[in-house]
Structure 1
Amino acid sequence: MKITKTEIPGLLIIEPKIFGDSRGCFFELFNQKSYQENDLKTNYIQDNVSYSSKNAVRGLHYQLSPFAQAKLVQVLHGKVLDVAVDLRENSPTYGQHYAIELSAENKLQFYIPRGFAHGLSVLSDHCVFYYKCDNFYNHEAERGINFNDPELGIDWKIPVDQAIVSPKDEVLPSFKEAEKNFFFKED
């Protein structure tokens, strides 16, 4: 696998090794030994799958510490714009976001450590989105930020007036108003 660091500390793009022939292709979604050998020592305990339609926006979601979740995300069918927002106080990139297109075709994975809000917009007709988490879902610790916060300035690559957003996500606070309890630590 090939690992690329982004300009935001901790966010990684992972490109699996793909074995292809006339039948199609094979690649590993996850191999704990390979990830540990590459200093990704996250112990995943929960796998999730979401199915969404075009223009759906999910997020920006996170859980407060100590219930925060690191995530390893990938698209199994379709295409999304995947976004992570740095919520770690004292981080050199606090309040900044990183966006990457993930698709079944490019097979890229995106590693999002604890201390980030996460969201996606669906760019294809439908999408099957897969992610691993290193902590269980905790309703009381669940928080979020409004996807359309002008302070964040995220271009979701879809018309905002056509975005399909859950009623819960529509009323999420701005970045400035959102409760956060994460702190940046140098590696």
Structure 2
Amino acid sequence: MRLVVGVSGGSGIPYALNVLQALHTLDVETHLVVSSGARRVMSAEGGPQETELRALATHVHDDRDLAASIASGSYRTGGMLVVPCSAGTLAKIAGGFADNLLSRAAHVTLKERRRLVLALREDPLPRPMLENMLRAHDAGATVMTASPGFYHAPKTVDELLHFVTARMLDQFGLDVPGFQRWKEPT
């Protein structure tokens, strides 16, 4: 399987790192695109940095390269995740505005009717964002919030991240090792 992973400027870069770690473990070919906004967030939050994300990706693309392979529908992928998905990136995707590689790859994913998962990590949700979520959903995207469950009694932040990662990758039919599903034996 080949997946595109977009990282936009929303808070929550640890989710992107966790997704890339899981995809690396599952031996999934990944095409990483990191927006300039994500770089600013990484710098401000002091968590995972771009070098850590790049080390886990199979291919890394410059967000300004609108001629990259993933900018074309003829380049086959199993879909795309945008994690975290900022409000601005959501608005671009919902409106079909493809001014950088991340939003162009998302546009291509939708036009080719491939799976697009947008993992939002922002609260509260103002009306324009809710409307953009609905527009993205109606265009074919799966809109998720990076909201972990607690029925598996997590004890660490990594367990919370793992839960959200597993739920996102479920959308692509991928099973993340160690994920405890509701009422399944351990």
- TM bin, normalised by shorter chain, reads under 0.3
More strand by share: 1
Whichever of the two has the greater Rg, that structure is 1
Task: Between the two structures, name the one with larger relative contact order (CA 8 Å, sep ≥ 6).
Answer: 1
TM-score, normalised with respect to structure 2: 0.25
More helix by share: 2
